[in-house]
Amino acid sequence: MELKRVVVTGIGALTAIGNNADEYWNGLVNGVSGAAPITRFDASSFKTQFACELKNFDVGDFIDRKTQRKMDPFTQYAMVAADEAIKDAGLSIENQDPDRIGVIWASGIGGIQTFQDEVQNFVEGDGTPRFNPFFIPKMIADIASGHISMKHGFRGPNYSTVSACASSTNAIIDAFNYIRLGKADAFVTGGSEAAVIEAGIGGFNALKALSTRNDSPETASRPFDRDREGFVLGEGAGGLILEELEHAKARGAKIYAEVAGGGMSADAHHITAPHPEGLGALNVMRSTLADAYLNPEDVDYINVHGTSTPLGDIAETKAIQAVFKDHAYNLNISSTKSMTGHLLGAAGAIEAIASIFSVFHNVVPPTINHFTDDPELDSKLNFTFNEAQERVVNTALSNTFGFGGHNASILVKKYVG
């Protein structure tokens, strides 16, 4: 069968460096760090006392108090980003078939704030099992997609994908596949995460996964730097409207880029560590290129997973060099996690947005906080250190890799009618 073409017609973002898509992109291009001391709780006893929290954000500006009480913060963030993307795309059920518009929304963890609060209230209580009637509906990871569909009347396929830090890239790939197979006209897709809480920081500290550079939070996320020592936890959401090309053209929609392909793989190696030779990353990039019918030489920019961990950055770089060979030296590579922190299940969504904007604006956002070259990394590679670079970006690849060995990548390219 002939596959349909899929384009991006709406974008929404909520991050530590911007509370909407335009602010987020401006923050990326200007190399703004979103890391700062934690304000949500007293973190003074934690090994890590900083994170990439949302700033100057009041959910009451978007969601009424009664509705807020039925939602964990990860769902609130999802609603804000999804609503922005839907508005940006001008997508509604008026003059559209609501049965052919779906929602696939990801979260790696879901309602961890709700879970923590309810368990703490029970333990600190008198032993009587008093739980909020919304405890379970607020906590489950699929509830964000349900709320989005109910608000907007979208009755197409509706579910959540969960694959740790690859979750929202998986969601985008699923939406892409439904549309190109002709099973839907459009999807709201993306992901959200709200894990900057005691359990989130404490849990990742126990894994020794987080940076502990408390004396300089803004420089703590330093992918590909010799002195990197862990990631910075972030929060927020990214939303996209994916749409079948002819459907988008028929309603006069703005088109940011075309989704060219997606791929998935598994490391089958370790619960948290990457394959030392980047085998899973290598396989997912090759399968994504094949799915898009593109060659390595067609790619201009890779938005890498690049978490700022000692093992992960090396493994991903090895994989890039194995896949792209000599062309690796013509690529721009950057990790926008150096600015946003790591949004876990929402990372793929906001990094897909960075890749789409890079294609749309012909600008590659930087990897900030580079101070010292790592002798284990090839210094001839262009990691776009510290400053954005202007160049023609026809095609961009976005990588996401998750605990459990889950890998997912997507390719986006300039829309050509």
CB 394 within 8 A of CB 243: no
Name the catalytic one among 147, 152, 275, 305.
305
**β partners of residue 277:** none
The values of phi and psi at residue 254, to 5°, are -70, 140
The phi-psi region of residue 190 (left if phi > 0; otherwise alpha if psi is between -120 and 50; otherwise beta) is left
SS3 state at 38: coil
Give dist(CA 184, CA 101) in Å, integer.
6
33 Cβ contact list (under 8 Å, min separation 6): 17, 217, 218, 219, 221, 338, 339, 368, 369
Name the catalytic one among 52, 165, 370, 406.
165
Quick check: is 305 catalytic? yes
The residue count of the chain comes to: 417
**β partners of residue 243:** 7, 186
The angle subtended at Cα 51 by Cα 46 and Cα 54, nearest 5°, is 135
Q: How many CB atoms lie within 10 A of CB 181?
A: 11
- Per-residue burial over 95-112, b if 16 or more Cβ lie within 10 Å, else e, is ebebebbbbbbbbbbbbb
Residue ranges of E strands in 52-122: 101-106
126 Cβ contact list (under 8 Å, min separation 6): none
* Residues that are catalytic: 165, 305, 342
